[in-house]
Amino acid sequence: MTLATAGDPVELAIFQSAVHSIAEEMGAALRRTALSPNIKERCDYSCAIFDGRGRVIAMGDHMPVHLGSMPMSVQAAIAAIAFAPGDIAILNDPYAGGTHLPDITMVLPVFLPGRDQPLFYVSNRAHHADVGGAFPGSMGPANEIFQEGIRIPPVRIVRGGKIDREMLELILLNVRTPKEREGDLASQMGACRVGEQRVLQLAEKYGEQRLLALIEELLDYSERLVRAELRRMPVGDFSAEDWLDNDGVTEVPIKIAVQLRFDPESASVRLDFAGSSPQVAGSVNAVRAITLSACFYMLRCLLAEDAPATAGILRPLTLNTPEGSIVDAQSPAPVAGGNVETSQRIVDVLLRALSKAVPERVPAASAGTMSNLTIGGMDPRTGEPFTYYETAAGGTGARPGLDGISGVQTHMTNSLNTPIEALEYAYPFRVRRYAYRYGSGGAGQFRGGDGLIREIELLADAQVTLLAERRRFQPYGLQGGEQGAHGHAWLTKAGAAENVELPGKCSVRLAAGDILRIETPGGGGWGKP
């Protein structure tokens, strides 16, 4: 088989499905063996396959905010470590391609027999329910990244096939739930091994030269698909802006602005975030990897569902993010909310600009927040510490010709919920209500989807932390559609008749019997009502 024959479309489609299935199987192994409900039930993880140059060639159908940024972590690991067979790297540093500290990435090099350089890398990223820091769950108010948890540069957690117990113990000593963390880390290592075995089988089937040719063709194919879409776009500049409520330290709104420029002649696009607010004191700062991930997501949304998600998608993109801004924060800015909240707003801004170019293709704003909730304390049933983390679903924006969808995770998150049975089994909680928040979607020719209501009663004293948005600025409607409803959080103290509204970003000490009620935003409407 010569390199030229790699262009056979049938063979390329088979290869695309093969590498995608490896990423999917890695995810299934990770979920099946994990300990924490956050990974096992909510599927807060992502897996991907990279070539020997660190270019992504396949992604599982997992978390967009993970997948778009993971290549920067893989490249950071390649630059920092002289990999040998049997090694696995670990890292979570947001300033080395990471997103925020709870997202821990593992990278395994795949060596073919007799080769001294990896032909592939397999990687996964999973959100750990606690990585230390000032607040249980590692998602609380912070003024610098050192308050958010243990920060891991690219280092080896496995050397020559053996776990580096010293490195592992160092990590476990800095978290509140070491048994759960060790179990989840072991599941990540196992998922990497699954990916390694499948890649080696793929190499045995195709042979090295044929495999290299197929990789290049797959990357080129992704690029051709994106450029074909960009050639259909109107010439010109399209600008938009939106706002984060605040940073949790002050009440000052934070602007995210973008100018989108299409050049159909060269089939390219430029995204310029000049005009966005400077980085802030609170934890909603986004590193460049997050912004790039949101841009990757927008471009991927222009393509058909079966288009390969590879590094080729980004080839037509020129991205400008001002250093030291809310979309390109510099160390030691805290970043816990940049991954979960600012990423959503960046997507909102990108889609708002895109709607001015192709209004018939773009939905109104979705909920625009992951409504993060973390709870930590001592479980009276076991006498051991627990940390709970969850993102709450909201409504999607209405679309041209269709209403929005109610109660789903939107845009940069693709996780599930923790089922009530699993939640009450794993934690000292009682779920009192879980329902759609009817009427929270924006009115329009097509209505926005509704958010959710979730009431949780604590059965033990605990520290409760909220990190949420869309309390001040509602999800926008498009083409005359109305805005979606604000989000809310209410606290009812045990025995009290009245409830108190909590800020979107806060951490409070609550007692057994207290009830927390989360109301998530609905999506915006599309078209005049």
Give the residue from 99, 139, 105, 149 showing the smallest Cα distance to 123: 105
**What is the C-alpha separation between 124 and 108, in angstroms, rounded?**
9
What does the pLDDT read at residue 67?
A: 76
Per-residue pLDDT of the chain (529 residues; tens, 9 = 90+): 334 444 689 999 999 999 999 999 999 999 999 999 999 999 999 999 999 999 999 998 878 777 778 999 999 999 999 999 999 999 999 998 889 999 999 999 999 998 999 999 999 999 999 999 999 999 999 999 999 999 999 999 999 999 999 999 999 999 999 999 999 999 999 999 999 999 999 999 999 999 999 999 999 999 999 999 999 999 999 999 999 999 999 999 999 999 999 999 999 999 999 999 999 999 999 999 999 999 999 999 999 988 999 999 999 999 999 999 999 999 999 999 999 999 999 999 999 999 999 999 999 999 999 999 999 999 999 999 999 999 999 999 999 999 999 999 999 988 889 999 999 999 999 999 999 999 999 999 999 999 999 999 999 999 999 999 999 999 999 999 999 999 999 999 998 888 999 999 999 999 999 999 999 999 999 999 9
Smallest CA-to-CA distance from 318 within 241, 262, 264 is with 262
The 3-class secondary structure across 124-163, one letter per residue, is EEEECCCCCCCCCCCCCCCCCHHHCCCCCCCEEEEECCEE
CB 475 within 8 A of CB 367: yes
Residues contacting residue 473 through CB under 8 Å, at least 6 positions apart: 242, 243, 244, 245, 253
Give the DSSP H/E element, type plus range, for residue 483: none
Q: Is 45 helix (H, G, I), strand (E, B) or coil?
A: strand
- Per the listing, tokens 């397999």 go with 122
pLDDT of residue 62: 77
pLDDT the model gives residue 459: 98
For every residue of 413-478, which 3-state class applies, written as one string?
CCCCCCCHHHHHHHCCEEEEEEEEECCCCCCCCECCCCEEEEEEEECCCEEEEEECCCCCCCCCCE
Q: Are the C-beta atoms of 265 and 240 separated by less than 8 Å?
A: no
Cα(119)–Cα(78) distance, rounded to whole angstroms? 12
State residue 281's pLDDT score. 97
* Number of alpha carbons in the 13 Å side-chain half-sphere of residue 504: 29
The pLDDT score that the predictor gives to residue 1 is: 35
Query: How far, in Å, CA of 485 to CA of 258, rounded?
Result: 24
* pTM passes above 0.75: yes
Dist CA 393 CA 411 (whole Å): 11
| DSSP string over 242-271 | EEES--SSS---EEEEEEEEEETTTTEEEE
Contact 495, 414 (CB under 8 A): no
Instruction: Report the candidate in 262, 259, 319, 313 with the shortest Cα–Cα distance to residue 290.
Output: 319
Output the pLDDT for position 4. 41
Cα 384 from chain centroid (whole Å): 29
Q: What per-residue confidence (pLDDT) applies to 7?
A: 65
Q: Identify the residue whose tokens are 């009682």.
A: 430
Pick from 156, 174, 162, 145: nearest CA to 284: 145
Per-residue confidence (pLDDT) for residue 2, from 0 to 100: 38
User: Distance (Å, rounded) from C-alpha 8 to C-alpha 438?
Assistant: 51
pLDDT at site 6: 47
Report the pLDDT value the prediction gives residue 175, as an integer from 0 to 100.
98
